[in-house]
Amino acid sequence: MAVDETVDGDALVQMFNAGLAHAVPAMYGLGVRLVEVASGRAVGTVPMDTNRNHFGGMYAGALFAVAEMLGGAVALASCDASRFYPTVKDMQINYRRPAMSDVRAIAELDEATIEAIVRQAEATGKAEFTLDAVLTDASGTTVATTHGTYQVRAR
Amino acid sequence: MAVDETVDGDALVQMFNAGLAHAVPAMYGLGVRLVEVASGRAVGTVPMDTNRNHFGGMYAGALFAVAEMLGGAVALASCDASRFYPTVKDMQINYRRPAMSDVRAIAELDEATIEAIVRQAEATGKAEFTLDAVLTDASGTTVATTHGTYQVRAR
């Protein structure tokens, strides 16, 4: 469902995470969680403890995972999830610094872009969009950035 | 250690996978395994069963994981692992088709490139290289491709 007056952000976050456990258990198992979502904005987290690698930093794939998830969250918060589902077409991740703590990933789309995606999906059954995410450690330092291309498609 | 007469490929694969379980448990937990390695060539696998998503296809992050691992395997098979360690700087993944079976990822570097990496790492303490991987399903169909930039660095 789209974000509207009937579902507040916290409820949507809880629904999304419950759905994640069921729908993408491998991602859920990495500890990736949505913590905030609204039309055009999603924030996720991934924990250090279970993703520590041999250098003491976080596993590169866990950083990928938390960023990649945001495209799905933005799509589900913006489009009618009973009629459309999100997929990822491609993604670029740039590792800036080792992540030594839990990591937050934030991605935003402006309202005009969201409206265009929804309009195109409604009209043609699918729409493509790009999403940039910034990943920061507990001190606010950027540890990675991503650029992804996603599609929403009619079920 | 570098691949030489004292360690055959199978022994190196076993050592690498045992090392993976210890050093990057989150990746190991996704089921990513090295199945073949030589100087300039690495092949990995990732299983469908534990990575199935809500569309019946494989989780995008599992495909990323098996490809990303290959850069480390090539580096460890080519350079002296007691003196150098690999890191990933960036990676692009392009999803071509849903993966509906276990997936193999293959990456190769020619001998001249390997020699240049080793020479630069020995001379300067670090060397950068790019690696392309092709991911195929059980029928041999390409499901994804990746392009990654890695570094080997002196410990």
Residue A149 lies in a domain: yes
Q: Is the pLDDT of residue A5 over 70?
A: no
Q: Which of B37-46, B47-56, B76-85, B99-108 has the lowest mean pLDDT?
A: B76-85
pLDDT at B80: 84
Residue A119 lies in a domain: yes
Look up the domain containing B96 and give its range. 9-154
Q: Which residues contact A50 (CB under 8 A, 6 or more apart)?
A: A30, A31, B25, B26
Strand runs labelled E in chain B: 33-38, 41-46, 84-95, 103-108, 126-136, 142-154
CA distance B50 to chain A (A): 7
Judging contacts by C-beta atoms under 8 Å, the chain B residues touching residue A95 are 87-90
Give tens-digit pLDDT for A55-87: 779 999 999 999 999 999 999 888 888 889 899
pLDDT at A108: 96
* pTM exceeds 0.80: yes
Q: Which residue of B has its CA nearest to A151?
A: B95
Q: What is the CATH number of the domain that holds A102?
A: 3.10.129.10
Dist. CA B60–CA A149, nearest whole Å:
13
What is the percent of chain B with per-residue pLDDT over 70, rounded to a whole number? 95
CA distance A10 to chain B (A): 23
Residue A20 lies in a domain: yes
Looking at the 3D structure of chain A, how many domains does it have? Answer: 1
Nearest by CB to A59, from B22, B24, B50: name it: B24
Residue A2 lies in a domain: no
Judging contacts by C-beta atoms under 8 Å, the chain B residues touching residue A60 are 68, 88, 91
Give this complex's ipTM: 0.93
Judging contacts by C-beta atoms under 8 Å, the chain A residues touching residue B30 are 26, 30, 61
Give tens-digit pLDDT for B34-62: 999 988 899 999 999 999 998 779 999 99
Residue A3 lies in a domain: no
